[in-house]
Structure formats: C-alpha cells, structure tokens
Amino acid sequence: MLDDIKGKIDDLLGKEKGPDPTTDPSTLSIKDIIAPSFIEEEQKYLKFGEKLSKSFFVFSYPHYLTSGWLSPIVNLDAQMDISFFIHPVDTGETLKRLRKKLTEVQAQMSENREKGLVRDPILTTAYQDLEELRDRLQSAEERMFKLGLYITIYGDNDKEISDIETSLRSIFESKVVYVKPALFQQKEAFVSTAPYGLDKLQTHTRMNTRPLSSIFPFISANLSSDEGILYGVNMHNNSLVLFDRFSLENPNQVVFGTSGSGKSYLVKLQSIRSLMAGTEVIVIDPENEYKTLAEEVGGQFYNISLGSDSHINPFDLPKPGPGERPGDTLRTNIVNLVGFIRIMLGGLSNEEDAMIDQALKETYAAKDITPQSDPDTWDDKIPILSDLEDVLESMEGTGSLLIRLRRFTRGAYSEFFNRYSNVSMDNKLTVFGIRNLEDELRPMAMFMIMRYIWKTITRSQKRRILIIDEAWWMMQNEDGASFLFGLVKRSRKYGLGVTTITQDVADFMKSEYGKPIITNSALRFLLKQSPAVIDMIQKTFNLTDQEKYILLEGEVGEGVFFAGKKHVAMKVIASYTEDQIITSTPEEVQKIRERKIKGV
C-alpha cells in the first residue's frame, strides 16, 4: 500500500520509474512541461523563453502614508507579482539609535541658534517626530520594523515592459513613493517575489507600526452614511451598505442578473424602505410580482390588459418643464409618438414616417393644441387614436397606414389603445401590471405607460423612483430603447430615479442605447451571471477575477454593488416581516396564503 502511494507521488513529481527523460525524449515529466525552454539573465530583466520579467524595489517613502495606498498598484491591469517582507527590529537597539539621532538634531538646532540663523522647520519637525516615536516605543504603543517591498512585472516584449513600468512609476510617484529596478540583481529580486518566502534582495526601509499598517492593500469601500436606506451588508467587512441614492450625481440604477438570482427581491426590498423614507415608487411590472406589495402597503395596482377597465391614452401630453417652451414640448411629444406608432404598425417607410408626423400635428391642431395655445388648457382637449385615423382619411396615399391602424382603432386592440386615460398616480406606490398582455403588445404597453408616467412626473417635482422590470422588452426596438435612454438621461431634473432591471444582459448591451443607460446610472447591482456573458460583464464593469467568481458562484442575493466610483461585494438581507411581503418563492407564497386563510 505504502509503495503504491510513494509511486503515485513520484509520478506526480516527475520521478517516474523507467527510462530517463534526458535519454528518452518520449518520456516527459511535469517539470519538463511547465519549465521554460531557457532562462537568460540580463542587466535589467530576466528572459523566460519568449516572456520577459523586470523586478523593482521601493526605496523611498513620504512623510505620511494613507490607508490602502498600495491598492491602485494591486488593481493595475497588468500581470505582476508583489511581495513585502517585514522584519522586526529590537526595540532596545532602536531606542539607542533614536537617542543618538535626537542628540545630533538638538545639537544642530542649538548651533543654529548660537549663529543667529533663522529656525529651520525641517529640523524642528524631525525633532518632534523623533520625540514622539521614542515615547511610543518606550510605552510599547509601537514597534520598529524593516520593510522590503518588491515588484516583478511581466511582458511579451520590451515595449510592453516599458509601458507597464511607466504606469507603475506614475502611480507610485503620485503618492511620493519611489522605485528602482534591481539592476544586476534581477534573479534575486525575482526569487524574492516568487512564493518561496525568501528575501534575497535584502533592500529595506525602517518603519514603525503606524505607517507599516497602511501597506495592507486589500481594503473594501465603505458605503455607509447617515442618511438613506439600507441596501445590504458588505461581504468583506460586514459593514452596512447604507446611503441615499439621490445624493449621487444621478439617482438611476441598473440591476443585472439571471432568473432566480434575486433581482426582484432586491428591488422590492428597496421599494419598501424607500416608501418608509417618504419616496414615491412607480413600477412597470411584467409578471405582476409587485401586486402583493401594493396590497400590503396600501398602494394602487392597475391591471393593464385587453380586457381591463384601466386605460392609458398614448396622446396624453406632459406639461412644459422649467425653461421649456410649449412648442418644444409639443414637438418632442410628436417625435416620441411617431416612434410609438412605428412600433404599433410594424415599421414605417420614409414616406409613411413623414405622413404620420404631419397627421399628428394636424390631429393636435384640430383640438386647438398648438405651440401658441395655453398648455393649461391641453388636458381638456387631448385627442385619441381614432382622431388620428380621421385625419389620415383626409390625406392622400394613406391607405396602407389606415389598414394597419384600424386594428387598433376598430379591431381587437381598440379597447386597449383607443381610450382616454382613467388611471391616477396619486398613491405613494403605483404598480402597472402587464402580465396578461400578449407578448407582441408588451413593448407598446411599456412605451405607452412610460409616456404617461413621464407626463405625470413633469407636473410636480418630488422624490420618486420608477422601476422598469424586464427592461429588455423596451430594448428590442430602437424607438423604445431611445425613449428609455431619454427618460434615464433627463430624470434627475425632475427628482426621478429610474431603476432598470433585466436578465437578458446580452440583448441589453447589443443595443446602442444599452451602454449609455449604464453610464447614466450611478447605481449598479450585478447579481449571479451566466458563464456565457460573464466575460462581457467583466470587461464592461472592469471587474477583478474575484468579483467575477462572486458573480458565477455567489448565492441568491449576493453580488457586486456599485455606487458612483465605489463598489463592494454585497449581500441582500431582509427582516422577517419584509421577507413575508416581498418573497416570490412559490413554497413561501403558499405558506403565507395558508396562514392568511387560517387567520394567523
């Protein structure tokens, strides 16, 4: 048994029994496979086959060091090895050196005073620092160490090595830290950065405990503040991720994750906590997941479907915003309506596009809605889709348009599209559920609902959050994606934060408006991702390999949370009461229903 184990170990280490690899080329060991073809030592670098390496050591530090100053080097997008060696120094020996140094500095200061020279601030500062350090060492508050910090970079050629070295020096020197290449000692420096724990270079700087502690590079951002809502728990240090989204450069958010990763759970939890903080919430809900939430908090749920009594008129007009002229508002609305009708009718030719644009202007003008009319009177005169049909009938060459349009004015969809609006958004939580709509109508319904929401938003400015679940429906066509991007871009001016949720990240990113929507969203939460899109996600959000692993292997509700320039690994945590309201797990939902029936 022991012989078998020994034989397996020998095989693993390349100590095969039988022919010698040096005499029999057909026999290879692991060492033969992983070793480079040759190693060449030069003055400034080592050459491993076709690969180059260059090693450096830090030789000078500033007077003060801040926490995490090494973090930008660790996160530099380059292949490198970093090692630091910390050797404790005898305190007694250090105190002797300090006393000697203090005597020298004090003597120099006395000599300057006797000569009548102006006080030297450098000597004064040095004396104070030495006194403070001596006191801390004597009271055992601090200790002295020798620090050796070495870095080895890798590249395929001289230019790549030079580019990485330039970036390295730039980052270090911006922090008043200076490095030198280990000339004629590249082998020793390489071994010092390899995982052997051997300090072959022996190039050290003396440092006491306080600045030495700042060398630790692996710090996590702190997203806690005195105001806002609880988003989750920082997985690195268990601190609370607590802040106000409206305090950022914009209050928009994107949430990406696979089905079952916890997207809706996260956003519903944010909704509850935002409502408690006095923020109104509006939801476009493709699966009616927010209906229970609306019922529990006293919100309003509208079932938007072909057989529903809730209607929205696509011709509704927003009020002109601050500094906007009525004519500009009307023209923008007509442009958006042309895009909406383009979706309805399955596309328009250039000629049809011009006809619809002209017909819309005449439809509004027939109701005395013009750039010159008073916007306060517009609400009482809003046309509907059949009014557009009447105008098109009076125009030449509109036969094809009328045939397609009558499906929505007289056909099966007329009860849905050809009605005046009768919904209201006066509640603190308003949910538009579109689960019962056919798939082909969903993009149109979402476009129409967002237009109505935008009309309401522009009439009164207050803190609101608009949640668009399964936003990829809007991204399927250019007009819908363009309107969504415009909404995200202009929302801050009206106190609106747009939360965009999708599981089809690839489809979202393929749209020319996908990345701009992400760019205009200061908050981003990435939950579990599919291996098929993880490389694209990593590149888009500049994730580390560890963050990539979290998105591939993380539990439900775990992911990477971005707030402005900061980002942390975060876990979503809800209280028992919150969980009972927002859970969508079928087993839990069934248990809750049974308890309600029993009156528990």
> Rounded to an integer, what distance in angstroms lies between the CA atom of residue 65 and that of residue 59?
14
Q: Which of 473, 427, 428 is nearest to 450 (CA)?
A: 473
Digit-coded pLDDT (tens) for 449-476: 988 898 888 877 889 999 998 887 888 7
Q: What is the pLDDT of residue 553?
A: 87
Q: What is the 3-state secondary structure (H, E, C) of 529-597?
A: CCCCCHHHHHHHHCCCHHHHHHHHHCCCCEEEEEECCEEEEEECCCCHHHHHHHCCCHHHHHHHHHHHH
pLDDT of residue 428: 93
pLDDT of residue 153: 94
Q: Are 54 and 153 in contact (CB under 8 A)?
A: yes
Report yes or no: 284 and 446 within 8 Å, Cβ to Cβ.
yes
Say yes or no to pLDDT of 592 above 70: no
From 3.40.190.10, 3.40.50.300, 3.50.50.60, 3.40.718.10, which CATH number describes the 230-304+427-600 domain? Answer: 3.40.50.300
CA distance 111 to 113: 5
Only one residue has tokens 């944010």, namely 270
Task: Give the alpha-carbon dihedral of 31, 37, 41, 47, to 10 degrees.
Answer: -110
Q: Please report the beta strands in 264-308, taking only residues with DSSP state E, as ranges in sequence order.
A: 280-285, 300-303
Q: Can you list the alpha helix ranges (DSSP code H) found in 325-463? A: 326-344, 350-366, 385-393, 399-409, 414-417, 442-457
| 47: nearest Cα among 229, 219, 186, 159 | 186
- Fill in the amino acid letter for 314: P
- Where do the structural domains in the chain lie, given as residue ranges? 1-33, 36-69+76-86+145-206, 230-304+427-600, 313-420
Tell whether the model's pLDDT for residue 431 goes beyond 90: yes
Q: What is the pLDDT of residue 8?
A: 45
pLDDT, position 1: 43
The DSSP call for residue 268 is: H
| Domain 313-420 CATH class label | mainly alpha
pLDDT at 169: 92
pLDDT at 15 (0 to 100): 46
Segment 506-527 shows an average pLDDT of 86
The DSSP bridge partners found for residue 179 are 58
At 13 the pLDDT is 46
* pLDDT-wise least confident of 216-225, 395-404, 435-444: 216-225
Note the pLDDT tens digit of each residue in 265-283: 999 999 999 999 999 999 9
Angle (CA) 194-195-198 rounded to 5° is 80
The band of 482, judged by pLDDT with boundaries at 50, 70 and 90, is confident
Give mean pLDDT, residues 481-509: 86
Tokens at 485, concatenated: 């991007």
> CB burial class (10 A; 0-12, 13-18, 19+) of residue 397?
exposed
Asked whether the predicted pLDDT for residue 47 surpasses 70, the reply is yes
Q: In this model, does residue 120 exceed pLDDT 80?
A: no
Cα–Cα distance, 377 to 97 (Å, whole number): 87
Query: Does residue 67 or residue 412 have the better pLDDT?
Result: 412
Higher pLDDT, 307 or 32: 307
Q: How far apart are CA 82 and CA 85, in angstroms?
A: 10
Which pLDDT value is given to residue 497? 93
DSSP string, 204-217: -EEEEHHHHHTT--
Whether 11 shows a pLDDT value over 60: the answer reads no
Is pTM beyond 0.85 here?
no
| pLDDT of res. 596 | 60
pLDDT at 9: 42
Can you give the pLDDT at residue 27? 64
Q: Could you tell me which residues come within 8 angstroms of residue 392 by beta carbon, excluding any fewer than 6 positions away? A: 355, 359, 398, 401, 402, 405
Q: Which residues, other chains included, contact 457 with Cβ-Cβ below 8 Å and sequence gap of 6+?
A: 318, 464, 466, 491, 494, 496
pLDDT (tens digit per residue) in 330-365: 898 899 899 889 888 888 899 999 999 999 999 999
Query: How far apart are alpha carbons 22 and 297 in whole angstroms?
Result: 78
What is the chain's mean pLDDT, rounded? 84
Summarised one tens digit per residue, pLDDT across range 13-32 is: 444 444 555 555 556 677 77
Average pLDDT of the segment spanning 95-110: 81
Residues 525 and 562: beta-carbon distance below 8 Å: yes
Say which residue, 600 or 215, is predicted with more confidence. Answer: 215
